[in-house]
Amino acid sequence: MHRLPKTVNQVLEQSRERVSTGQLNRLIRSWTDAHPPPVRKGRRPKVMYAVQAGVAPPTMVVFVAGGDLGPDYLRFLENRLRGAFDFTGNPVHVVARKRASRTGA
């Protein structure tokens, strides 16, 4: 019981941890290069970039072009994030968002 307050404080600090956008994008780029997203409905989605949208719980938004990532690939990215950063005891949310379409004249 004497270790509980220390552990609770540690989990609380980890829930507020911020990951820089540059570092997050370098990691996600290396993971998607090594293990590309699966083809869905005849198209392979392309991860454009990612940002950390929030803390407590850590929420990462991955912007995608050309299709959907699917829950299995989002889980893959979540597990990689857990391995790269110490989010012990915290839920990590990874949300895919379609990149806004470019409308040009």
Rounded mean pLDDT of 50-70?
A: 91
Report the distance separating Cα 18 and Cα 85, nearest Å: 10
59-65 and 46-54 as β-strands: parallel, antiparallel, unpaired? antiparallel
- Tens of pLDDT, residue by residue over 84-101, are 988 888 889 999 998 766
Is 70 part of a structural domain of the chain?
A: yes
Domain assignment present for residue 105? The answer is: no
Q: Is the pLDDT of residue 105 over 80?
A: no
Flag whether 63 is in a domain.
yes
Closest by CA to 48, choosing from 85, 93, 92, 100, is 100
Q: Which of 1-10, 16-25, 48-57 has the lowest mean pLDDT?
A: 1-10
Strand locations in 55-100 (E): 59-65, 93-98
* Domain limits for position 43: 4-98
pLDDT at site 103: 62
pLDDT the model gives residue 50: 95
DSSP state of 43: B
| pLDDT value of residue 16 | 76
Q: Report the chain's mean pLDDT, rounded to a whole number.
A: 88
* Average pLDDT rounded to a whole number, residues 49-60: 91
pLDDT exceeds cutoff 80 at 30: yes
Let me know if residue 39 belongs to a domain.
yes
Residue 91 lies in a domain: yes
Domain membership of residue 68 (yes or no) is yes
Q: Count of domains in the chain?
A: 1
